[in-house]
């Protein structure tokens, strides 16, 4: 089987091309010599199966950031039959350096000049044939976003892959020496194959940036957009969630309950009140998660995410962080794990560790379903989006507090440089593929962790045999009562305590655990919880869920990325302590004020 590596600079459209080539078949895999997971997909090329691996975006093979080391180690430890170099055609004068470095290594490659549509709008004319002759790599113009030139690129890849290239052995010590002639070669190639207009301009981008990057209006507008996003997610997602819950309720009552009625009571309870109620409750929130990822894809792919980093850099610097840290926080809204892995672009270890310490406070998609559930159960529809937005704001409050307290322990002097891409509205295909990849990842985690979690919760709530489920005499009741002196000052009752304990494994389990504990799911579960707690307890519980110890996969990633046992311990202990302080303070103050 042939192996293809996809390499390119950040913002060159590499991921867009990978998604177009792989469709929905991409998967995550671990590779020899690489301590991280990489996206890969199997394709049919020229009648043969080939595997394409999406490597991290890098600027330079000679650099020392973790992402650059990942690429180097991959090339050194894996045989590659063909490299696809993705370059931004509108920035070709800066993008060919990477291609020249790969050429110096003698690696077989194809140069894919992406974003040809943008280059044309800017008046940049590229002679791909002449460029290929000067560079020594076959080259083609295309737009991965719109599919223009994609068939030509595909055919070129097939042609090159059929050739029996002599693949050299790449040596870190010898072959990655800095090429002193790269700049001269680059200048020569550009002069002979590219025509630039006297002045290039993204007029729409400039007009939007005058408003969106305004010194006074920029940040309020950003938070306003975030509020509108949560408003849209809740407003559009709540009816869809109710519809899915209605279908799952009727499936339970009309199909599963009669079908399983012949089983012994204990087994019947295990399958219906345990496994089905837990998984079905989480499944009803999938529409909300899909909408969340679609909106986040628009924000990220449009180029506004980079602007948010620029806007927040001054404030983040005072906290010992920088604009990249803010981008990682926003990435953490999808899942904390890839956001933590994204810190590899930071060369300063102090900056990276401090960023990794605050990323788990991001309101990730797993927490979002907990908040949507609680706000729907305890708050009026017009209040719910504001409540969720307040938790989003609390993310930044906690990040600010943590950064100010620990910045002295994690010093950094690394300068912050950021390239602002032009605004691009993603296509429907991009949004759907991006949303599907994220949702599939969520469902994979949910299926694995929730099934295990709800089974364990059922055993805790129904054992010892013969006790009333979830009563004080059950194992879960014992645990809840044992933890009560610790969490009761925050208004968190024994039932919520059990859900929090299992939430440490994965936050997706929290709602499923509540469904098992209360023995109902969907609307009935919301009504049951609303009768047991009030809005003050609900908000205190949400604060605790937002802040306390991250899930096991996040902790494992922190341990792998930081390579430090004491830092991993800090990332466990500090959030738990802070969660208790903030939740208990809110609950006690609210009760003192008469709420």
447-504 pLDDT tens trace: 666 777 778 888 888 888 878 877 778 888 888 888 888 999 999 998 899 889 888 8
Span 270-294, mean pLDDT?
Answer: 82
Higher pLDDT: 579 or 102? It is 579
Closest C-alpha among 99, 94, 124 to residue 110: 99
Task: Name the most confidently modeled range: 60-64, 262-266, 460-464, 489-493.
Answer: 489-493
pLDDT value at position 109?
92
pLDDT value at position 401?
95
- Considering the domain 2-195 in this protein, what is its CATH number? 3.40.50.300
- Among 171-180, 290-299, 335-344, name the one with the lowest average pLDDT: 171-180
Cα 532-538-542 angle, rounded to 5 deg: 145
Backbone angles phi, psi at 187, to 5 degrees: -60, -40
Residues 57, 461: Cα–Cα separation, whole Å: 48
Closest C-alpha among 530, 545, 336 to residue 441: 336
Bridge-partner residues for 28, per DSSP?
A: 39
379-420 pLDDT tens trace: 988 898 899 999 989 999 999 999 999 998 888 776 666 667
The pTM assigned to this predicted structure is 0.74
538-552 pLDDT tens trace: 999 999 999 998 888
Span 208-233, mean pLDDT?
Answer: 86
Task: Name the most confidently modeled range: 305-314, 358-367, 497-506.
Answer: 358-367
Residues 100, 551: Cα–Cα separation, whole Å: 43
The three state secondary structure string of 329-371 is: HHHCCCCHHHHHHHHHHCCCHHHHHHHHHHHHHCCCHHHHHHH
Bridge-partner residues for 52, per DSSP?
A: 4, 41
- pLDDT category at 64 given cuts 50, 70, 90 is low
| Sequence ranges of the chain with CATH classification 3.40.50.300 | 2-195
Span 260-283, mean pLDDT?
Answer: 85
pLDDT at 3 over 50: yes
């Amino acid at each position: 089987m042939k192996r293809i590596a996809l390499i390119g600079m950040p913002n060159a459209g590499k991921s867009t091309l990978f998604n177009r080539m792989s469709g929905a078949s991409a998967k995550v895999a671990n590779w020899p010599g690489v301590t991280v997971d990489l996206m890969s997909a199997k394709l049919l090329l020229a009648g043969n199966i080939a595997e394409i691996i999406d490597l991290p975006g890098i600027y330079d093979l000679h650099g020392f950031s973790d992402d650059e080391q990942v690429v180097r180690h991959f090339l050194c430890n894996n045989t590659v039959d063909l490299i696809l170099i993705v370059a931004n055609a509108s920035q070709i004068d800066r993008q060919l350096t990477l291609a020249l470095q790969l050429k110096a290594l003698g690696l077989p490659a194809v140069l894919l000049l992406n974003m040809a549509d943008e280059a044309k709008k800017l008046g940049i004319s590229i002679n791909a044939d002449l460029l290929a002759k000067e560079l020594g790599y076959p080259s083609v113009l295309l737009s991965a976003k719109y599919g223009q030139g994609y068939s030509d690129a595909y055919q070129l890849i097939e042609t090159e892959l059929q050739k029996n290239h002599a693949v050299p052995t790449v040596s870190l010590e010898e072959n990655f020496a800095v090429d002193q002639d790269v700049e001269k070669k680059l200048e020569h190639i550009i002069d002979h194959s590219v025509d630039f207009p006297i002045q290039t301009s993204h007029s729409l981008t400039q007009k939007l940036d005058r408003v969106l990057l305004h010194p006074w209006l920029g940040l309020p507008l950003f938070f306003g957009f975030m509020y509108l996003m949560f408003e849209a997610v809740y407003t559009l997602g709540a009816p869809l969630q109710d519809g899915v819950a209605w279908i799952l309720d009727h499936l339970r009552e009309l199909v599963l309950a009669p079908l399983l009625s012949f089983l012994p009571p204990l087994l019947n309870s295990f399958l219906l009140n345990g496994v089905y109620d837990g998984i079905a409750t989480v499944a009803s929130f999938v529409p909300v998660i899909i909408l969340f990822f679609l909106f986040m894809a628009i924000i990220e792919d449009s180029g506004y995410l980079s602007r948010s980093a620029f806007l927040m850099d001054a404030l983040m610097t005072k906290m010992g962080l920088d604009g990249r840290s803010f981008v990682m926080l926003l990435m953490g809204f999808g899942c904390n794990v890839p956001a933590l892995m994204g810190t590899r672009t930071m060369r300063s270890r102090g900056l990276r560790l401090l960023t990794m310490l605050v990323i788990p406070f991001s309101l990730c998609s797993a927490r979002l379903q907990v908040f949507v559930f609680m706000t729907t159960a305890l708050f009026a529809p017009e209040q719910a989006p504001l409540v969720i937005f307040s938790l989003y704001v609390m993310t930044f409050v906690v990040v600010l507090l943590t950064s100010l307290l620990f910045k002295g322990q994690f010093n950094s002097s690394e300068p912050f440089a950021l390239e602002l891409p032009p605004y691009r509205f993603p296509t429907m295909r991009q949004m759907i593929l991006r949303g599907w990849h994220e949702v599939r990842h969520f469902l994979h985690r949910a299926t694995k962790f929730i099934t295990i979690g709800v089974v364990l919760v059922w055993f805790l709530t129904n054992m010892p045999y013969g006790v009333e489920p979830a009563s004080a005499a059950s194992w879960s009741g014992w645990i809840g009562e044992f933890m009560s002196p610790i969490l009761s000052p925050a208004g968190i009752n024994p039932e919520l305590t059990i859900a929090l304990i299992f939430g440490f494994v994965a936050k997706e389990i929290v709602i499923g655990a509540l469904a098992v504990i209360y023995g109902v799911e969907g609307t009935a579960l919301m009504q049951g919880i609303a009768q047991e707690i009030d809005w003050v307890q609900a908000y205190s519980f949400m604060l605790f869920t937002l802040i306390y110890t991250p899930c096991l996969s996040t902790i494992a990633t922190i341990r792998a990325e930081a390579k430090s046992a004491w830092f991993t311990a800090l990332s466990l202990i500090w959030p738990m302590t802070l969660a208790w302080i903030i939740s208990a303070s809110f609950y006690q103050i609210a009760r003192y004020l008469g709420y």
